[in-house]
Amino acid sequence: MLGPLDPALAHTTVCLDPLHVLVGAAHPLAGRRLVTMAELAGSTAWMPGNTPGTEWTAWFTDLAAEFALRIETRGPNFGFDHLLDEVARSTQTVTFAGEGVRVPWHPDLVRIPVASPVPVYAHSLLWRRDNRHPGLPALVTHLKAGYRPPTRAECWLPAVEQHLFTGG
C-alpha cells in the first residue's frame, strides 16, 4: 500500500478503467467474449513493466491476492510492443490492459473484457491546492460530471479504494 496523499494536493476520481485480458490467438481463452476473474485463478500474468513502489504495481498485487493470480515481473522489459509479441506467441501467458489503453493491432493477439464484477483501475485528477489557474474549476467540474461511482455488484476495487463504492 502506498502512503497518504500529500496534504498540499487535492484530487478527485474521474474515471474507472475496466480490466481486459490479453492472450495469444492459440491460448485456451482466445475464443471467449468475456472471462471471469475466477476463470483466471492460478494463471500467471506477465507484466515486466510493473515497478516496485508504484501505485499500479500495488493495484496488481492486490488483484493477484484477491483472485489467486501470480504476477510475473521478471524478464526483459523491452516495451509494450515486445510484451504483446511475446503474449501473442504464447499458449499460456496472459497480460492485462485497461479498456482505455490503446493496444496496437496484432494478428495473433486477442483482447477479452472481464465480466462482472470487473476489476477497475481508478484514475484521478490531482492538483495543487494553491493552484489558482482560472480554468481549473471548470476542468474539475467537467471531469466530475462524467464520473459515476461504481457499486460492489459491478466492480472490484482493492481495499484501499473501497471508499469509491456507492451503497449498491
The CATH class of 1-160 is alpha beta
**How far apart are the C-alpha atoms of 154 and 136, rounded to whole Å?**
31
Checking if the pLDDT of 2 tops 80, the result is: no
Of 55, 29, 57, nearest to 43 (Cα)?
29
Q: Point out the least confidently predicted range of 9-18, 47-56, 135-144.
A: 47-56
**34-44 confidence digits (pLDDT tens):** 999 999 999 99
| Lookup: cell for 16 | 474507472
Checking if the pLDDT of 95 tops 90, the result is: yes
Checking if the pLDDT of 27 tops 80, the result is: yes
Q: Which pLDDT score, from 0 to 100, does residue 168 have?
A: 46
* Percentages (nearest 5) of helix, strand, coil residues in the chain: 25, 30, 45
Checking if the pLDDT of 138 tops 50, the result is: yes
What is the number of helices (H) and of strands (E) in the chain?
Answer: 4, 7
Of the ranges 1-15, 45-59, 131-145, 151-165, which is most confident? 131-145
Judge whether 87 and 93 are in contact, CB under 8 Å.
Answer: yes
The full length of the chain comes to 168
**How far apart are the C-alpha atoms of 64 and 61, rounded to whole Å?**
5
Checking if the pLDDT of 155 tops 50, the result is: yes
pLDDT average, residue stretch 67-95: 93
Checking if the pLDDT of 129 tops 50, the result is: yes
In the chain, the amino acid numbered 27 is H
